[in-house]
Amino acid sequence: MRVVIIGSNGQLGMDLSSELKNHELVLATHNDIEIKNEKSVFSFIKDSEPDIVINTAAFHKVEECEKTPVTAFRVNALGVKYLALACLMADAIFLHISTDYIFGGEKGLPYNEDDIPNPLNVYGITKLAGEYFIKSILKKYFIVRTSGLYGKHKCRAKGGNFVDKMIYLAEKKEKIRVVDDEILTPTYTYDLSIQIKKLIDTNFYGTYHIANNGFCSWYEFAENIFKLTGLEVNLEKTKSKEFAPKVKRPLYSVLENKKLKSLNMDFMPMWDDALKRFLKGKN
């Protein structure tokens, strides 16, 4: 298949670009396409003649989204609408990356694809709007909701990932305080890319949760990073309210890969196994 990857030099885009090499790839960075701009999207997709378009691009600095909601809407909702329309015109499949932040956390149990979204912040609202555009425009789509990404390549928007940040702070011998009341599933971009590779070989279109299996608090995640690296640290538990957050975030956003399981296609390893492989530098 001819596969367009948008955001190809991003954290997830880089792993997808490596893992989908069995396809004919068209790699698009922000220099090649501006998803806020309808003309840019329509001409790039038309010229690429894709069988499938994979969109990893987003405005996902959560605090910045709160400060500039119009820009967040233009990228995460309207940009996705233009991509969906371009796919419709090109008769291409659309695979779009969404987020656990479309949920509010009140369920307190793993969220599956049938649960009703309730985003708490601008980022979540605009990503959910993007999903609705796709569902109202296309039949041949995959919406992939994932969470807590980390991988070999840095998240461009955030300048790194949680694992790198913990190791950096530990090496600086700083006291580290991490919240133990936000529960999620950290997800390794390599595992996610392999799962996406298998999914696009099917025509089982629809909305999917794809995260590593299991869950932990950010504190437990940090604890595991230090256990596995052997770094000695002064690690303390704290509560999210102590940070006086500027943005509301779900306290519980664990994703259950229910749809993949129902298709016997859930190949996502446990989150702690993924972390071990990542830290050893092995896939």
Q: Closest-CB residue for ligand NAP?
A: 10
Q: Which of 138, 257, 256, 135 is nearest to 196 (CA)?
A: 257
Contact between 36 and ligand NAP by CB under 6 A: the answer reads yes
Of residues 88-107, those binding ligand NAP (CB under 6 A): 97, 99
Partners of 53 in beta bridges:
4, 94
Of residues 45-74, those binding ligand NAP (CB under 6 A): 56-58, 60
**Which position among 54, 62, 65, 75 is part of the footprint of ligand NAP (CB under 6 A)?**
75
Contact between 212 and ligand NAP by CB under 6 A: the answer reads no
Q: What's the CA gap between 5 and 120, in Å, rounded?
A: 29
H-helix or E-strand spanning residue 28: strand 24-28
Contact between 144 and ligand NAP by CB under 6 A: the answer reads no
Count of residues that interact with ligand NAP, criterion CB under 6 A: 27
Contact between 224 and ligand NAP by CB under 6 A: the answer reads no
Contact between 34 and ligand NAP by CB under 6 A: the answer reads yes
Contact between 26 and ligand NAP by CB under 6 A: the answer reads no
Binding site for ligand NAP (CB under 6 A): 7, 9-13, 29-30, 33-36, 56-58, 60, 75, 79, 97, 99, 146-149, 155-157
